[in-house]
Structure 1
Amino acid sequence: MKILVTGKGGREHALITALSESPQKHELFAHPGSDAIATLATRVEAASLPELITWMKNNSIDLCMAGEEALLVKDSGLSNLCAEAGIPCWGPRKEIAQLEASKTYAKKFLKRHGIPTADFTICTNVAEAKAALTELPIVLKFDGLAAGKGVAVCTAKDEAEAFVDDVMEKRCFGPGDLLVEKCLTGPEISVFASVCDDKYQILMPARDYKRIRDNDQGPNTGGMGAVASLELAAPDLMQRIEREIVQPTVQGILKDGLTYRGFLYFGLMLTPTGPQVIEYNCRFGDPEAEAVLPMVRGDFATYAFEAAKGNLQPDLISFEPGWSICLISASAGYPASSHSGDVISGLESVSGARVYHCGTKKNAMGQFETNGGRVLAIVAQGATRVEAREKAYAQSAKVTFDGLQRRSDIGKMHFE
């Protein structure tokens, strides 16, 4: 089978690794991929989405797997164009991918289908947004895609007003409305499901750590680490999440006259009154994918191929017991900026852990160097959370580069 994965980061490196470890050997491709991904998959250059579709047709690609979100809503939509070309795509069509691409679309969907979520106000200008800042703390969300950085949890009014100015006057994330949302409290959890029309399978849950510094301090990032385990949520909690959130979401998509095939991410807050939806992502989470995918057993490639054709077969995969912990190493200046060109040392010393490249490139001497904000994901597994955490930190300590940022409390905070 010939499989192409779209994207270039740590999530895509993890997806391609999982595909490469499927029982049968497949021919793997990545667009655009990275120097690290190129050790497992052939990189494909395409100047546009239609050009990529043409390349896939000409090269008889059997399955397209959407890694990152942008192409799902670009132009006519990756999945839509794949369908026209007769290529199975594991990723939703543009119309329903708005669940991630537009925060206001998602909130209206949640409200319409009675799925628990925080109260909200949609603001189209600065005056409306500042008038809506009636209680603190408060959550502000840019309506469109912003690589995980378009959300601010503000505890002070001046902080909230500054974010409003950034979004609505300076247009730091481009054109779009602002969502002003009641701040929920409680631990967060990431729940993933493979959704195939009216069927779904809930996968291993995870928890990510968004803030740049220990104790959830500092600005939001795309994620500084993640923990994954079947033990992360009690069976009764997972049953409630399925009953009140996952099932109504799948049914709601169908009621709206749409279909969904692909991974669906539910970002949840476990509030005192029960789980509530913070956000949807229309693909695997990042860095949660790097924590979850090493725990997958079975035939991941055939599973995705069959599901993309409308035949979800849950028995094709299973999940390893125990715990998986992912640690992100970020470059200097992240998340406000990123630093490229810092040589990475110690990669060859890592053993008993997986290394996924999020933002790296090879220099003229063949050394990996930083090439983005989040640089590396180093992931280890263990029978217990403590064992997995100790292994992940021991192996991560072997890898260094100038300006490295790494939290020290992943897999510890929220558990002790």
Structure 2
Amino acid sequence: MNVLLIGSGGREHALAWKLAASPILQTLYCAPGNPGITRNALCVELDIDDHAAVVDFCRDNEISLVVVGPEAPLVAGIADDLTKAGIPVFGPTAAAARLEGSKGFTKDLCDRYKIPTGAYMRFNNAPKAKAYIRAAGAPIVVKADGLAAGKGVTVARTVEEACAAVEDCFEGAFGEAGAEVLVEEFLEGEEASFFCLCDGENALPLTTAQDHKAVGEGDTGPNTGGMGAYSPAPVMTDAMIKRTMDEIIRPTLKGMAEMGAPFTGVLYAGLMITSEGPRLIEYNVRFGDPECQALMMRLKDDLLLLLKAATDGMLWTTSARWRDDAALCVVMASKGYPGSYAKGSVIRNLDKAGAAQDVEIFHAGTAMRDGEIVANGGRVLGVTALGRTVGQAQRKAYEAVDAIEWEDGFCRRDIGWRAIGRNG
């Protein structure tokens, strides 16, 4: 099979690394890719926003499957246009991608199909949102409705902080994503990430993870796209996984099908595990980043066969197996992230750092300049390791981090702290 992978981040590098191991793969292309992905795929200059150009590329190169990594092209309807052209694609239609493209849409779906989630209200102007916040009190959660690269969420501890978050949204801090705002109940518990492959009717549970959104240690400071992750998440017991499937995933698939937008692709449920059970925080319609890096390290089976089964409506014929080892990913970011940061600083010693057994360094925001790897984004590297426990995986990952020479980079030093505190 010839496969086209769309995207350029750490998630796509992890997917490319795993897809490249498939015995049924002939050629793997990636658009636009990054310097790390060049080790696993042929990176091509292709405007992924130009869907006609993507279709032409697929026809010219006899592509058997397109795998869409990031959410924005899915929300923009790339899966629809590829399907119309007769090209198989792993990823939901634009109508189904509303599960991530509009948080309000997902909340309304939960309300309609009795899917457990936090109470919420939707607002299209700041005065009404702030009046509601003052009446409800804090802590409370403010979210931009649309896509905001993981940065449109504020968990406000005070009414003043929540009102300021509302102002940020309506004043354009998140562009069109903030044209509508959700104000949600603050849920007490422990967060977890849960992933399923879906074929429109069936869901194949994958595995669990836990990520660290906050930029600071101890999960403090502003939210980012993710500063690290580990898998599995100890809080997701077998009983909790069953409840998540029965109470959240299956009702969602049923509801989407009844609405005429059956969901095909990977469904990523961001959960809060409360004293009453799992509650849906939000959906993503693609693999998480950096959770994907940890998941791909643990997956035993052929990823390409699994994605093909989902695309072909044949998930009922397959299963997914996972290594017993834990995996942990530490994100190295440019100093200043998630605020302003400089680009172009040189990163050295990556080959030596990644040479240790069961360690992979996934590129997220890098570029090649004069034969050297340079930082080209906020989140730049995902240093990922396997270990018998989360603690062992953490030690191996930080040993690799410490071997990398990059003066303008930083990372959190406590990724995995919840699991280590629980199980070591």
TM norm structure 2: 0.94
Name which of structure 1's ranges 39-48 and 372-381 shifts more when overlaid on structure 2: 39-48
Contact 1:49–1:71 (Cα < 8 Å) also in 2: no
Query: Which residue of structure 2 lines up, in the alignment, with residue 280 of structure 1?
Result: 283
Q: Does 1:303 align with 2:306?
A: yes
Deviation at 1:172, TM superposition (A): 3.5
Deviation at 1:407, TM superposition (A): 0.8
Specify every segment of 5 or more residues in structure 1 that has no aligned partner in the other structure, as ranges: none
Query: Which residue of structure 1 lines up, in the alignment, with residue 128 of structure 2?
Result: 128
Q: Does 1:225 align with 2:228?
A: yes
Contact 1:23–1:298 (Cα < 8 Å) also in 2: no
Deviation at 1:316, TM superposition (A): 5.7
Deviation at 1:274, TM superposition (A): 1.2
Inter-partner Cα distance in structure 2 for 1:360 and 1:383: 30
Contact 2:210–2:233 (Cα < 8 Å) also in 1: no
Q: Does 1:385 align with 2:387?
A: no
Deviation at 1:167, TM superposition (A): 0.7
Q: Deviations over 1:321-374 (max 9, x none)?
A: 12000000010110012321111122122222000001011111x111111000
SS in 1 for 2:56: helix
Query: Which residue of structure 2 lines up, in the alignment, with residue 58 of structure 1?
Result: 60
Inter-partner Cα distance in structure 2 for 1:337 and 1:281: 26
Q: Give runs of aligned pairs for residues 61-72 of structure 1, distance below 5 A.
A: 61-72=63-74
1:370 to 350, 375, 381: 375
Q: Give runs of aligned pairs for residues 55-94 of structure 1, distance below 5 A.
A: 55-74=57-76, 77-94=77-94
Name which of structure 1's ranges 5-14 and 162-171 shifts more when overlaid on structure 2: 162-171
Deviation at 1:95, TM superposition (A): 0.3
Inter-partner Cα distance in structure 1 for 2:233 and 2:138: 35
Contact 2:391–2:420 (Cα < 8 Å) also in 1: no
Contact 2:394–2:416 (Cα < 8 Å) also in 1: yes
Inter-partner Cα distance in structure 1 for 2:272 and 2:258: 25
Deviation at 1:132, TM superposition (A): 1.6
Query: Which residue of structure 2 lines up, in the alignment, with residue 99 of structure 1?
Result: 99
SS in 2 for 1:94: coil
SS in 2 for 1:22: coil
SS in 2 for 1:297: coil
Q: Give runs of aligned pairs for residues 32-51 of structure 1, distance below 5 A.
A: 32-47=32-47, 48-51=50-53
Q: Deviations over 1:210-268 (max 9, x none)?
A: 00010111100000000102755221111111111111111111122221111000000
Query: Which residue of structure 2 lines up, in the alignment, with residue 191 of structure 1?
Result: 194
Determine what percentage of the aligned residue pairs are the same residue: 37
SS in 2 for 1:318: coil
Name which of structure 1's ranges 56-65 and 230-239 shifts more when overlaid on structure 2: 230-239
Q: Deviations over 1:91-128 (max 9, x none)?
A: 00000100000111111111111000000010101111
Name which of structure 1's ranges 216-225 and 341-350 shifts more when overlaid on structure 2: 341-350
Name which of structure 1's ranges 298-307 and 211-220 shifts more when overlaid on structure 2: 298-307
Q: 1:195 corresponds to which letter in structure 2? A: C
Query: Which residue of structure 2 lines up, in the alignment, with residue 154 of structure 1?
Result: 156
Deviation at 1:170, TM superposition (A): 3.5
Inter-partner Cα distance in structure 2 for 1:405 and 1:86: 45
Inter-partner Cα distance in structure 2 for 1:170 and 1:146: 11
Contact 2:202–2:316 (Cα < 8 Å) also in 1: no
Contact 2:19–2:304 (Cα < 8 Å) also in 1: yes
Query: Which residue of structure 2 lines up, in the alignment, with residue 179 of structure 1?
Result: 182
Moved over 6 A (4+): none
Contact 1:204–1:292 (Cα < 8 Å) also in 2: yes
Q: 2:138 corresponds to which letter in structure 1? A: L
Deviation at 1:58, TM superposition (A): 2.1
Q: Does 1:319 align with 2:322?
A: yes
Deviation at 1:314, TM superposition (A): 5.8
Inter-partner Cα distance in structure 1 for 2:394 and 2:386: 8
Contact 2:124–2:181 (Cα < 8 Å) also in 1: yes
TM norm structure 1: 0.96
Report how many residues are paired: 413
Inter-partner Cα distance in structure 2 for 1:57 and 1:147: 31
Contact 2:309–2:318 (Cα < 8 Å) also in 1: no
Inter-partner Cα distance in structure 2 for 1:412 and 1:231: 12
Deviation at 1:36, TM superposition (A): 1.8
